[in-house]
Structure 1
Amino acid sequence: MTVVADSLQLATTLGQLLLRKKWTITTAESCTGGGLAYCLTAIPGSSAYVDRSFITYSNKAKQQMLAVRSATLLQFGAVSEETVREMAAGAAKAAGANVAVAISGVAGPDGGSVYKPVGTVCFGFYVDGSVASSHMLFAGDRQQVRQQAIDYALKQSIQLLTALLN
C-alpha cells in the first residue's frame, strides 16, 4: 500500500495536533481495511500517539472488539452513523485513547442499495468523551472511495482537534 502525498501531509498535521495535546488516537475501520491506521503510522514518531487500531470488517468483529450492539446493527446496519458512533466509542475504550475514528461504508463495486449506494461511507469521531458522526457519498471505483474516506477522516479529525486547541 502506498500513502498518497496529500494523505501523508494530513496525517502529519493530525499527528502534530495529537502531540500538542499529548493525546493518543485509535481507528476502527471497516471499508478502509486499516488504510487510515497505515497512513497515520507512515509518519516517523507516530508511536507517540498511535498504540493500536482495529479492523472490524464483519459485524461479529464490530460486536466482539468494539462492543457495537447487535440491536444497532439490526436496526440501522453496519453502514450507519449509529453504528460508527458505537464503533468510535468502543475503540476509544478498548484502546484507552483520547481520539478514535471509525469508518464503515460501501466501497463497491457491489454491495450498494437504493438507500446506501456504492460510495456511501459513515464516519464516527470520538474526541475526549464526545462522539460525533457524519456520512458522505463518494464517487469513483473501490480504491478511490477508500482513499477519499481516509482523507475525509483525516481532515475531519484535524478540524475537531483544531477547534479544541483554539
Structure 2
Amino acid sequence: MNTETTYYKTPIGIAEIIGNKNGIQFISVIDDGAVSEELLKAKTPECLQDCVIQLEEYFKGKRDRFNLLVNPKGTAFQIKVWKSLLKIPYGKTKTYLEQSKKLGDVKAIRAVASANGKNPLWIVVPCHRVIGSDGSLTGYAGGIWRKKWLLAHENPVKQQSLF
C-alpha cells in the first residue's frame, strides 16, 4: 500500500510524518530549512492529520500520551524494545540498563540501545526518555540538544516560591 508524507514545523525542527490508513510508519525530525515552504504548507493527507494534531498538542503542553494507529517496520526484537519505551511515563526517564532488565536480559544493553536508536516514531515512541546510567543524555538520533529540550519540555523546572 502506498504511503503519504507530510511535514509539520515544531519548536525543534520539522517533523516528517509517513504513513497510510494502516498507521503511522515513520516520524523523524529534520532541520529547519531542509524542506521547502511549499511542502510545509501542503495539505496534510487525511490519514496523517490526527498525528499532526497530537504532535501540536504535545508541543503546546496539552498532551502527555499519544493515541495513534502506528505501524512501524522493524525486527521482532526492535518492536519489543519500542513497545517497552511506551511504558516510560511522561516526565520520567529510565536508563538503558533499567530498560534491558525490564526486557529480561541485562546483557542485551547494547542491543537495546541500538534498537532505541532505530526507533522510527520520534516522540510518539519516547526513546528520548532513556538516559545513561550516570544520568548523561547519551545517544539520540535527533541530536542531544533535542533530547535535552524534550526532557525539559516534559518536566519543566518549577520556580520555588520565596514565601
Greater share of helix residues, 1 or 2?
1
TM over 0.5: no
For normalisation by structure 1, the TM-score amounts to: 0.26
Larger Rg: 2
**Relative contact order (C-alpha < 8 Å, sep 6+): which is higher?**
1
For normalisation by structure 2, the TM-score amounts to: 0.26
